[in-house]
Structure 1
Amino acid sequence: MQTKKKGLFIEIIIPEKWADMSIETLLKDYWKVPKKLMHEWRMSKDVLVNGLAIPWNTTLPKDAKLLLPVYKSNPTSIEATYMDLSVLYEDDHLLIINKPAGLETHPSKPNQTDTLLNGVAYHLLLEGHDGELRHIHRLDQDTTGAIIFSKHALAGAILQRMLEERRIKRSYKALVHGKVLKKKGTISASIGRDRHHATRRRVSPSGQHAVTHYKVLQYDSKKDLTLIECSLDTGRTHQIRVHLSHLGHPLAGDTLYGGKPIFHRQALHAYQIKLTHPITEEPLVIHAPFIDNKNVFSE
């Protein structure tokens, strides 16, 4: 799919598979654009085809130039803070960052300005972008790896739906205590809050459904640590940490869930994201290299 940023608009060349769709069908049925955003665009008459505002039931001809006012959304309320970011992927629609340890994904209290979202806001401000900014998922403060951010509301809405439909595949590497005997397996155990601890979660029949798949990569007999790969069907808070602790193999360094403090943080890294681009529809496979592998991971 060919796209190009033009001021406050994105220009998309209509591909053959969209020919004979109307603007209404494309936005409402194909992209499932949120009603509020569709209403804004309909009222502003800013959706243009070959430079003209045409009725939304008009058929889109192949190779026509569709202009969408994606950057006319409300400005972000996130305060920009300078950070030295590791950018894994970036285009006009989304940004993928390799998050370091010790950094929250987004503000969790009023006036907080030291999170990754604040750093991304600064990065985009340097590009002249001050529109809607959204983190599509999150990582714990001391977990490293790839996080997706959207640059406009349309990409954000599509990515959020893709995440809910499990069409964004996130893979993690983790070091756990002990020798994991099963080479691969699935942990299906609901997760809820621990009423005895403000931040801790626990396996609970009354909690939220949670499924983690794992595969053993290697075992270090000297350190009694197993390197495993994990993927998630669900995205519950602390899911991998809770599930592996429940399995009897807590993450190394994860003292909250029974790990020994042999590292300065829990040994968990989101090393790969696979998805179909929300706008161009090209397949993306993004790898996040270990940030502090000398201290935590060994490749």
Structure 2
Amino acid sequence: MQAMKKDGEWLVAHLTAADAATPIGNLLREGWKLPRKQVHLLFQHKEVLLDGKSVPQHAVGQEGQEIRLRLCQPEPLGLDPVEKPVQVLYEDDHLLIVEKEAGVLLHPTEPQHLMTLDHMVAGHFFRTGQQAKVRHVHRLDQDTSGVVLYAKHPWASAILDEMLRDRVIKRTYVAFVHGKLAKDSGKINEPIGSDRNHPTRRRVTPNGDKAVTHYTVRQRYRSATQIECRLETGRTHQIRVHLSHIGHPLMGDVLYGGKRDGVNRQALHAESLRFDHPFGGATIEVRAGLPADLRELEKRLQ
């Protein structure tokens, strides 16, 4: 899909020759992957414009014509905004990428959770005059630091969710684990399910959901290893469960057999995201360096 710009409540683009060869309704549904219900509502409310005029679904445009879609109507934030600023790594009309600190919940799960990352993003939207619902695309555990992706409007959310399911959003993590891994790289392909003996813990189980983690050794220490992990799937606690399963739990991860050893949380950091922008196709790659506690851990291990 070509790049689209936001103009108030409208997303605006110009038709290419290929776009102009297809009826506009088919282009939106099949070419641009807009949900069918949303396409129906747009045409019903006359919110698809070609050169400023509303058109029916069967209309065919011309190369270079401006197309406008009313897809950015003001929305409630969904959460009370907070004053604490969020660390913005990338932002445009369609998406926001921020860095989460360890210890911060990503989203509220109880009424008393009023200072989550979602609340901070709500504060960012409020301060910058953006009337958009807070929509995180993926999640991080409370004690995992690193990069988190948000969508700014429903269409972006739908496309990014599909990209995540199709594994075209590449996520890289850095982990510090106990012991020395025998291989320089490996693949852990073990299903993960709930642990019936613990309310929050997960475990490898034959009846669990498919889960695949790839790892590469970055540095070996006397009694620990720094590795890079790449996910094919996004199961709860996936990296933590998989590494514990092969006998190398994360340092600090007492839930899965790790020891504190000078770090007060699981030594896991979501270092980078890489994907092709859903509106325009430019490659987006965002990285967040190791936070202070993991830099200090790295220094001690060296």
Q: Which residue of 2 aligns with 1:203?
A: 204
Show the 5 A alignment for 1:51-70: 51-70=52-71
The 1:5–1:102 alpha-carbon spacing in structure 2 relative to 1, beyond 3 Å, is same
Partner of 1:239: 238
Cross-structure match for 1:173: 174
Normalised by the length of structure 1, the TM-score is 0.94
- 1:1-299 to 2 correspondences below 5 Å: 1-72=2-73, 74-110=75-111, 112-221=113-222, 224-262=223-261, 263-292=263-292, 293-297=294-298
1:297–1:94 CA distance, 2 compared to 1 (3 A): farther
Distance 1:296 1:87, change over 3 A: farther
Tell me the CA shift for residue 111 of structure 1: 5.8
Q: Give distance in 2, aligned partners of 1:172 and 1:60.
A: 45
Residue 149 of structure 1 aligns to a residue whose secondary structure is strand
Q: Which amino acid is 2:235 matched to?
A: R
Q: Secondary structure at the match of 1:294?
A: helix
Give the aligned residue type for 2:73. K
- Unaligned 5+ segments in structure 2 are none
Relative to the length of structure 2, the TM-score reads 0.93
Distance (whole Å) between structure 1 residues aligned to residue 42 and residue 276 of structure 2: 25
What's the RMSD between the two structures over aligned residues?
1.7
**d(CA) in 2 for partners of 1:267 and 1:231?**
16
Where do 4+ consecutive residues of structure 1 move more than 4 Å? none
Which digits, 9 at most, give the CA deviation of each residue in 1:35-87, with x for residues without a partner? Answer: 33223322221121111111122223222211121211643322212222111
What displacement does 1:156 show?
Answer: 0.4
Task: Indicate if the aligned counterparts of 1:121 and 1:130 stay in contact, CA closer than 8 A.
Answer: no
SS in 2 for 1:87: strand
* Cα deviation 1:156-192 (Å, max 9, x = unaligned): 0000000011111101110000000111110011111
* Larger deviation, residues 243-252 vs 24-33: 24-33
Give the CA deviation at 1:16.
4.0
Report the AA paired with residue 265 of structure 1.
R
In 2, are the aligned partners of 1:253 and 1:267 still within 8 Å (CA)? Answer: yes
1:10 and 1:164 mapped to 2: Cα distance? 25
Give 5+ residue unaligned stretches, structure 1: none
